Structure 1
Amino acid sequence: MTDRRTTRLIDFHCHLDLYPDHAAAVAQRERERVFTLTVTTTPKAFPRNKELADRTKYVRAALGLHPQLVADRAEELSVWKEYLPTTRYVGEVGLDAGRRFYGSFDRQKAVFAEILSACATAGDKILSVHSVRCAKVVLDMIEARLPIGTGRVVLHWFTGSAAEARRAAEMGCYFSINAAMMANDRSVKIVGSLPKDRILTETDGPFTHQELTDRASADVMPARDSLANLFGMEREGMDSLLIDNLKALLS
């Protein structure tokens, strides 16, 4: 059995500040050596996340403006721009064309366009991107405003088509995969078609956890195990592949 204490796992998209004890959740990631990208939903939440992450080896904080909040918080884009020079990591950003949020879709696109352009100008940013029911639009905007070589994109919980997944891979995108995705036959088929060297794991905690506990926050093993089964690999081999992928993304 793989020992959690010696295995270095990856959670490239989660919300540690939404757990009951933010500092404890960060400390757990550090203790268990889980390489973690903790994303923020508003730029005003970023300073505290960065303060805690900066004390660690394994946790990094990303600067976000969640598309689902743009209807009420678009004006915080100016705050987001102020903090951008202080971090390499950006997220959660993107677009959401789901029924609940479609009313703000045009405004979301305007905000996302500015975020992409700012990242391209700054250079060397790594973005964790939301793309619910609008993968084509997201990819079109990335292609237009974040040219290859100016930044890197990790598509979080990708739900687009197989053709859109192929296009994203051709554009150089990575994909962060969670356990909930691996419980969906359609998603499993798409994940299985992805280049193995573009895959990372995520939890999207706490949104994928039925119990909101700090203990659940570091449980990325189900996603790792599902990927190992899908690709016919041993757990140790999958761990090595994922670490190599993370190193390539960050290089």
Structure 2
Amino acid sequence: MRPDYVDFHTHLDLYPDLQRAISTCDRRRVATLAVTTTPKAFERNLELSSCSNFVRVGLGLHPQLVADRHHEIELFEKLLPRTRYVGEIGLDRGPAHYRSFELQRSIFARILRACAEDGGKVLSLHSVRATRPVLDMLDEHLPPDRARVVLHWFNGSRSDVRRAVERGCYFSINERMLGSTNGERVLRDIPKDRVLTETDGPFILRGDTPIAPGDVGCAVEMMATLLEIPIEDVRRQILSNLHSLTATL
């Protein structure tokens, strides 16, 4: 079954009802990457999505949780052969997580090396205030021909965008990003064939309500307006980009 939309970074297991969230993505025909924040969450996500036509599950170890959950890296490595998708992983150098940054780097390096060894993975990466360290570590530990990389909610400079594009990275964009001047600039800097949509639900709110699973329509409309191209052209381009991203390495 062909999808109508793409949500390449969402936390379905953080909605009140995971099974209902999966069903919503299926009903809306949204190709969805359900990232996890700890390896212990992965198997339940995998089990409940096993019959889904549109939801795939990423194995994750979120950098904001590394300080408390770094011991789960061995479980991560054990589970890695069971999935093609990895996320949410990366680095966070924000004030609340700066103290764990060196530990984050150690865990991230270990994850990248495991992905390089296993091969054929598609990664969704977090890079808050850490764009250059993330790109540096990709260059050091993960050869481009061993995996594909999607930079989630990317906030880097123009030179960072160029560097990531040259490396072959894709970028997943959400409606909150597109409501900021910097997010608009990032969108315009990215080649059209490297853009995907995401919700990052349930963390993005509309008013006081979390964005619904797979609800990327507003992001598609905002992209079309900012780039001055038809909405349907944007939707089709994103689907084409997903196909290119997930083509066999």
| Short-chain TM bin | over 0.9
In 2: Cα distance, 1:36 partner to 1:101 partner: 28
Q: What do the CA deviations read for 1:107-133 (whole angstroms, capped 9, x no partner)? A: 000000000000000000000000000
Aligned-residue identity in percent: 50
In 2: Cα distance, 1:244 partner to 1:119 partner: 25
In 2: Cα distance, 1:82 partner to 1:7 partner: 31
152, 159, 164: which one pairs with 1:156? Answer: 152
SS in 1 for 2:133: helix
- Superposition TM-score, scaled by structure 2 size: 0.96
**Does 2:46 match 1:50?**
yes
Q: Is the 8 A contact 2:3 2:54 kept in 1?
A: no
Q: 1:31 Cα shift? A: 1.0
Q: Is the 8 A contact 2:6 2:214 kept in 1?
A: no
In 1: Cα distance, 2:164 partner to 2:31 partner: 24
Equivalence for 1:31? 27
Question: 4+ runs of 1 displaced by more than 4 Å?
Answer: 210-213
- Which moved further from structure 2: 54-63 or 203-212? 203-212
Q: Is the 8 A contact 1:127 1:154 kept in 2?
A: yes
In 1: Cα distance, 2:183 partner to 2:24 partner: 30
Extract unaligned runs of 5+ from structure 1. Answer: 1-5
Q: 1:88 Cα shift? A: 0.1
Q: What do the CA deviations read for 1:76-104 (whole angstroms, capped 9, x no partner)? A: 00011111000000000000000000000
**Does 2:140 match 1:144?**
yes
179, 184, 187: which one pairs with 2:180? Answer: 184
Q: 1:7 Cα shift? A: 7.2
Equivalence for 1:85? 81
Provide the aligned length of Structure 1 versus Structure 2: 245
3, 6, 13: which one pairs with 1:10? Answer: 6
**Does 2:212 match 1:216?**
yes
Equivalence for 1:63? 59
Q: 1:218 Cα shift? A: 2.5
Aligned amino acid, residue 68 of structure 1: Q
Equivalence for 1:99? 95
In 2: Cα distance, 1:82 partner to 1:148 partner: 23
In 2: Cα distance, 1:243 partner to 1:10 partner: 7
In 2: Cα distance, 1:89 partner to 1:165 partner: 23
Q: What do the CA deviations read for 1:133-176 (whole angstroms, capped 9, x no partner)? A: 01000000001111110001000000111110110011000000
Equivalence for 1:238? 234
Q: Is the 8 A contact 1:224 1:238 kept in 2?
A: yes
- Superposition TM-score, scaled by structure 1 size: 0.95
Q: 1:201 Cα shift? A: 0.2
242, 245, 249: which one pairs with 1:249? Answer: 245
Q: Is the 8 A contact 1:178 1:202 kept in 2?
A: yes
Q: CA RMSD in A?
A: 1.3
Equivalence for 1:202? 198
SS in 2 for 1:149: helix
